[in-house]
Amino acid sequence: MGTSSATTHRVVYDDDIVRAFSIVTMVWGVVGLLVGVLVATQLSFWQANFGLEWLSFGRLRPLHTNAAIFAFVGNMMFAGIYYSTQRLLKVRMASKLLGWIHFWGYQLIIVGAAVTLPLGLTQSKEYAELIWPIDVLVTVIWVVFAINFFWTLAIRNERNLYVAIWFYIATIVTIAVLYIVNNLQLPTSFLHSYPIYGGVQDALVQWWYGHNAVAFFLTTPILGIMYYYIPKAAERPVYSYRLSVVHFWSLIFLYIWAGPHHLLFSALPDWAQTLGMIFSVMLWAPSWGGMLNGLLTLRGAWDKLRDDPIIKFFVVAVTFYGMSTFEGPLLSIKSVSALGHYTDWIIGHVHGGTLGWNGFMAIGMLYWMVPRLWNTTLFSKKLAEIHFWIGTIGILLYISSMWVSGISQGLFWLALDGDGFLKYPDFIEGLISSRFMYQMRLIGGVLYFLSFLLGVYNLARTIRSGRKVNGETTVKGSLEPDSRFNWKVMFGAPVIYSALVLILSFVLGGFGMVGAAVALGGLAVVVVAAMLGVGLVRDDHTKQWHYRLEGNWWVFSILVLLAILIGGIVEIIPTIVIANKAPLEALNTETGEPNPYLQQPYSPLELEGRDIYVREGCYLCHSQMIRPFRSETLRYGDYSRLEESIYDHPFQWGSKRTGPDLARVGGRYGNMWHYLHLRDPRNTSPGSNMPTYAFMTDRKVKLDGTAHKMEVLARLGVPYEAADFAAAKQTALSQGGLISADLESQGVEVEPDSELVALISYLQRLGRGPQPVAPDAGGSAALGAR
């Protein structure tokens, strides 16, 4: 590509920001892993909750996941992106100031998370737990990062964008969309809010986000990093440019559809579940395309595997990526999900990805990059070797113990005897039988943690032995103007064809032919893959449409945005429509009978109890979604319907059963049972590993704020009325009085407005209609009886 002038100038990269992000990666890595070790200990030994509410499993588990994902992998990603982007574009980052705002803002977010989550301030949406003020900050900081990144693209000195940059673009664009859509919420106070979505809508939006946090936070940026650091470390060419093109576009297009595989056999409509499953299956090959390009790039450099620990880390990381992305589609197949969902198998699956793929990519990158940033050599290769082996053994121990305990749990829950009744009716038996595996997992996690400490020590010694240096290069002239923005590139043949297919499918979808619409939408995948694949067979890739596209970052980014929006739109909009219609249909059925499943709003006290349930992270171990299996309906009662949680903001379907499902626990046990159980679960369930919640006995619910919470929910569509707000506090006290009196008759005294009573009122309501809120009401109490 020609140059408009022949002058040569020197470019010095801004590596200070890379050094800063590298150091915090190590720090937050230690923190995230340490919290992981603690929560793993708590699952084996409940005493490790220390009777302190801030350290209980339900509050620390979100801290662990947020620290591992956003603090450790997030900072690692930024270090890798800032380092490689400058070099791949031969330009310094556009703004030093924006870079530092990004850095410090991001650290502030992490500290905010580390303070708020143990305090029980949470939205209870997995990997989106942070409360709304922090969400706002995250959005602002992400936009700052995006501006700095795209501005750098605009002033680049390299005409074409290398594949790593494509993945960075996909990350930045998609995370922005996901984060904002999933975190739309209405605050009730500075520290609390309710999401605008309820029940099934919230579940779908959350897992669309949750799955794609894995896809676009833990996968795409790391693939970009892989595409830079592996060829660099191996000093070998990338295996196939053509494969990069095909697997990039198919990966980002397909990934976004896969979210509903987290909701198989739930109350989500069948068609959406099926979409989640089939797109997950189709995702297998595109994911392995990334693995192939990583591993096959090492052809001709396999000898380095013997004596270069960096290559070892990269090879194992990419292998774990391949394993996880095979396991993912496998677990998305409905019949496999029936066995694996809610069990420890999923925990093993995600740790293969985070410890193996993310963790080892991070370590490999740091071992390669830190000596270059400080102009020195790695302090100890030997230590890095030891790190590698201890870490690898740790991961293997971790995931294999989770496979065993997960699959055992699945078989245990599903097992029926010859008469068609539960073979193992006692839930806790399964938990007790997993105990040994939990201890093995703990050992695996501790080994990984220790190996990581060795790595941090090694890197710290490396840093101390060197001096900061900024990379540089020389650039001749500047880019031709036409390579900066050319909208005509938008209309390449693959784009036109897939647009036509998609338009046709949406038109058919408009006539209610959902099936046809989706089938054709899927066809678009084939068309794009085929066109790209076939088009690139010709030898001279510089004459191809995609090559021109790579020179136009605007157009490239717009196409990425379109590709990731389609799946979300097709799945989310119909679900929102269905969910909005459900209450209306309930009132207008043919028989005129109200839908018996339609949820009635919670009483004020139950609502407060529910907020406590959310605060304590109960959903992390207890689902509220009974699947339509005989083994589940025998154990937990009738399977859950879509209408039953329609007013739940946020939804509490859960994703893991360390304890039993609670969707229909209401009325199953007496108030006294709950009192004893919450004070110390081992009172009623010997062998339980649940934390104690005795502190709730003496703590009062702030009933003055309840009416306002109800008003906010009413604005979100929950059918509360003005009279309910005025009476909220009185109604709550009166309902609490009933429970309190019942407990008193059995010899214990608890205040009617204590947190314990509020939580019991919520638990007793689950799966049932409105409960008495006044002594003489006899079940016909005001709320919800209309």
Which listed range, 19-27, 140-148, 238-246, 698-706, lies at the site for other proteins (CB under 8 A)?
A: 238-246
* Residue from 19, 87, 102, 387 in contact with other proteins (CB under 8 A): 87
Stretch that binds other proteins, among 93-101, 362-370, 431-439, 633-641 (CB under 8 A): 633-641
- Nearer Cβ to other proteins, position 39 or 165? 165
Q: 28 or 342, CB closer to other proteins? A: 342
Q: Give start and end residues of each alpha helix (H) in 415-513.
A: 427-433, 435-465, 493-510
Residue choice 2, 190, 511, 539 for contact with other proteins (CB under 8 A): 539
Give CA separation, 711 vs 122, 580, 604, 609, 707, in Å. Answer: 20, 19, 11, 17, 6
Distance CA 707, CA 608 (A): 10
423 vs 484, which CB is nearer to other proteins?
Answer: 423
**Residue 683 makes contact with other proteins by CB under 8 A:** yes
Cα angle value 508/510/514 (rounded, 5°): 65
Distance between CA atoms of residues 33 and 552, nearest Å = 41
740 CB-contact burial (10 Å; exposed 0-12 / middle 13-18 / buried 19+) = buried
Show the binding pattern over residues 57-86: x = contacts other proteins (CB under 8 A), - = does not.
---------------------------x--
Quick note: the x/- pattern for other proteins over 552-591, rule CB under 8 A, is ----------------------------------------
642 binds other proteins (CB under 8 A): no
Name the helix (H) or strand (E) containing 474: strand 472-476
User: Which residue stretch of 315-323, 459-467, 624-632, 750-758 sits at the interface with other proteins (rule: CB under 8 A)?
Assistant: 624-632
- Using CB under 8 A, which residues numbered 151 to 190 contact other proteins? 158, 160, 162
Out of 634, 726, 741, 785, the only residue in the binding site for other proteins (CB under 8 A) is 634
Question: By CB under 8 A, is residue 364 in contact with other proteins?
Answer: no
Phi, psi of 656 (to 5 degrees): -150, 140
Instruction: For residue 221, count other CB atoms closer than 10 A to its CB.
Output: 26
Residue 628 in the binding site for other proteins (CB under 8 A): yes
Q: Is 506 in the site for other proteins (CB under 8 A)?
A: no
| SS3 at position 675 | helix
288 vs 725, beta carbon nearer other proteins: 288
Distance of CA 717 to CAs 203, 301, 602, 710, 732, Å?
17, 61, 13, 11, 21
Q: Site for other proteins (CB under 8 A): which residue of 166, 639, 651, 693?
A: 639
Give me the least distance between CB of 249 and other proteins, in Å please: 12
24 belongs to the binding site for other proteins (CB under 8 A):
no
- Residue 377 tokens read as 């050599």
Could you tell me if 279 and 254 are in contact, meaning their C-beta atoms sit under 8 angstroms apart?
yes
Looking at residues 721 to 760 of the shown chain, list those that interact with other proteins (rule: CB under 8 A): 746
Do strands 8-12 and 472-476 pair parallel, antiparallel, or not at all (unpaired)? antiparallel
CB of 416 to other proteins, least distance (A): 9
Q: Which of 629, 697, 716, 717 binds other proteins (CB under 8 A)?
A: 629
For the record, the structure tokens of 612 come out as 């406590």
455 binds other proteins (CB under 8 A): no
Structure tokens at 623: 């689902």
Q: Which of 140, 377, 389, 515 binds other proteins (CB under 8 A)?
A: 515
Bond from prior residue into 772 cis (ω within 30 degrees of 0): no
What angle is formed at CA 46 by the lines to CA 45 and CA 48, rounded to 5 degrees? 80
Three-state secondary-structure class, residue 14:
coil
Structure tokens at 505: 């499918």
Contact status: 286 vs other proteins (CB under 8 A): yes
E strand or H helix at 8, and its extent?
strand 8-12
Min dist CB 588 to other proteins, Å, is: 22
By CB under 8 A, tell whether 770 contacts other proteins.
no
Size of the site for other proteins (CB under 8 A): 83
Q: How far apart are CA 355 and CA 392, in angstroms?
A: 9
> Reduced to 3 states, what is the DSSP secondary structure of residue 656?
strand
To the nearest whole angstrom, how small is the minimum distance from the Cβ of residue 657 to other proteins?
15
CB of 396 vs other proteins, minimal distance in Å: 26
Look-up: residue for tokens 């314990």?
756
Q: Given the rule CB under 8 A, which of 404-412, 446-454, 484-492, 528-536 is the region that contacts other proteins?
A: 528-536
CB of 660 to other proteins, least distance (A): 10
Interface residue with other proteins, options 45, 150, 284, 695 (CB under 8 A): 284
Rounded Cα distance, 548 and 634, in Å: 61
Residue 105 burial (CB count, 10 A): 16
**Interacting positions 287-306 with other proteins (CB under 8 A):** 288-289, 292, 296, 300
Tell me which of 332, 671, 688, 734 binds other proteins, using CB under 8 A. 671
Cβ pair 364, 313 in contact under 8 A: yes
Q: 597: which residues sit within 8 A by CB, 6+ positions away?
A: 586, 641, 643, 644
Considering only the stretches 115-123, 309-317, 564-572, 625-633, report the one whose residues sit in contact with other proteins under the rule CB under 8 A.
Answer: 625-633
Residue closer to other proteins by CB (options 38, 272) is 272
Quote the least distance from Cβ 684 to other proteins, whole Å.
4
Binding mask 404-423 for other proteins (x = CB under 8 A): -------------x-xxxx-
Nearer to other proteins, 115 or 634 (CB): 634
- Which residue, among 275, 303, 109, has the nearest Cα to 207 in the 3D structure? 275
**What part of residues 325-344 is at the interface with other proteins (CB under 8 A)?**
329
Token representation of residue 155: 């002033």
| By the rule CB under 8 A, 345 interacts with other proteins | no
Name the residue type at position 242. R
Would you say 121 or 277 has its CB closer to other proteins?
277
Site string for other proteins, 103-142 (x = CB under 8 A): ----------------------------------------
Q: Out of 187, 425, 594, 769, name the contact with other proteins by CB under 8 A.
A: 425
* Piece of 236-244, 373-381, 599-607, 726-734 that binds other proteins (CB under 8 A): 236-244
DSSP state of 466: S
242 counts as binding other proteins under rule CB under 8 A: yes
Our finding on whether 88 is near other proteins (CB under 8 A) is: yes
Query: Segment near other proteins (CB under 8 A), from 98-106, 211-219, 285-293, 360-368?
Result: 285-293
Could you say which DSSP state residue 194 is in? E
| Candidate ranges 317-325, 630-638, 646-654, 690-698; the one touching other proteins (CB under 8 A) | 630-638
Q: Cβ(730)–Cβ(674) under 8 Å?
A: no
Find the binder of other proteins among 533, 583, 705, 719 (CB under 8 A).
Answer: 533
> Counting Cβ atoms within 10 Å, is residue 474 exposed (0-12), middle (13-18) or buried (19+)?
exposed
Alpha-carbon span 550 to 561, nearest angstrom:
15
Does position 281 bind other proteins by CB under 8 A? yes
What does the block give as tokens for 263? 């909701």
Nearer to other proteins, 256 or 518 (CB): 518
Q: What is the closest distance, in whole angstroms, from the C-beta atom of residue 160 to other proteins in the complex?
A: 7
Identify the three-state secondary structure at position 335.
Answer: helix
Tell me: does residue 525 bind other proteins (CB under 8 A). Answer: yes
- Span interacting with other proteins, options 18-26, 118-126, 199-207, 628-636, rule CB under 8 A: 628-636
Q: Which of 79, 87, 99 is nearest to 146 (CA)?
A: 99
User: Cα angle vertex 254, ends 251, 256, to 5°?
Assistant: 105
Q: How far apart are CA 473 and CA 157, in angstroms?
A: 11
